């Protein structure tokens, strides 16, 4: 909090990394409490929300959230906290997550038999439907500051 730290402090001699590794949870909470009254509105609102346990709400869906939802919430934050659109965007996060439950190439699960033979689980088990397990799953999330 008392030093102006830049990326160069981490890339150069490692002094920044040394100071960073000295931080503990008490330092973080103290900083959040100080930042709660900082003149930077985004920093103060996010810090105050963390201190008062008003965390982000996360909605996970199988369809992309509508753009209108983002715009409506953006407008609410702009009006409530007197923010610019750029500043209000810090209170909303939306993206997608893609996972492959099982990929024979990347995440091979091998079964070792007592006789020393090794087989991929897809070939060793009659009960697994590899086509179902290898299906790509896409989920969308929409996270926003509560209250």
- Res. 124 pLDDT band, cuts 50 70 90: confident
Determine the pLDDT at residue 29.
Answer: 96
Name the residue ranges covered by the structural domains of the chain: 1-35, 41-145
Query: CATH says 41-145 is which class?
Result: alpha beta
- Residues of the chain with pLDDT > 70, as a percent, come to 86
Q: What is the mean pLDDT of the chain?
A: 87
Dihedral pair phi/psi, residue 34, rounded to 5°: -65, -45
Across the range 18-24, mean pLDDT stands at 86
On the question of pLDDT at 121 being above 90, the answer is no
For residue 27, what are the contacts with CB-CB under 8 A and spacing of at least 6?
none
Centre a 10 Å sphere on the Cβ of residue 103 and count the other Cβ atoms it contains: 13
CA-CA distance, 53 to 59, in Å (whole number)? 18
CA-CA distance, 136 to 4, in Å (whole number)? 44
The DSSP secondary structure of 112-128, one letter per residue, reads E-TTS-EEEHHHH-SS-
pLDDT for 37-85, tens place per residue? 999 999 999 999 999 999 999 999 999 999 999 999 999 999 999 999 9
Nearest to 134 by CA among 105, 102, 89: 102
Pair of tokens at residue 117: 């033979």
- Res. 127 pLDDT band, cuts 50 70 90: low
Determine the pLDDT at residue 137.
Answer: 86
Pair of tokens at residue 38: 């900082």
Cβ 111 vs Cβ 118: under 8 Å: yes
Determine the pLDDT at residue 40.
Answer: 96
**Alpha carbon of 54 to those of 46, 47, 68, 94: distances in Å?**
9, 10, 24, 18
């Amino acid at each position: 909090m008392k030093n102006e730290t830049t990326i160069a402090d981490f890339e150069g001699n490692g002094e920044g990394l040394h100071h960073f590794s000295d931080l503990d949870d008490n330092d973080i909470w103290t900083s959040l409490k100080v930042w709660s009254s900082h003149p930077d509105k985004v920093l103060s609102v996010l810090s105050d929300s963390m201190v008062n346990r008003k965390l982000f709400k996360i909605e996970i869906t199988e369809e992309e959230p509508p753009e209108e939802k983002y715009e409506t919430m953006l407008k609410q934050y702009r009006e409530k906290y007197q923010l610019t659109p750029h500043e209000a965007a810090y209170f909303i996060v939306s993206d997608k997550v893609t996972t492959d439950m099982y990929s024979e190439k990347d995440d091979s699960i091998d079964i070792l038999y007592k006789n020393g033979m090794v087989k991929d689980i897809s070939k060793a088990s009659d009960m697994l439907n590899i086509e179902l397990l290898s299906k790509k799953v896409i989920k969308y999330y929409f996270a926003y500051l509560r209250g």
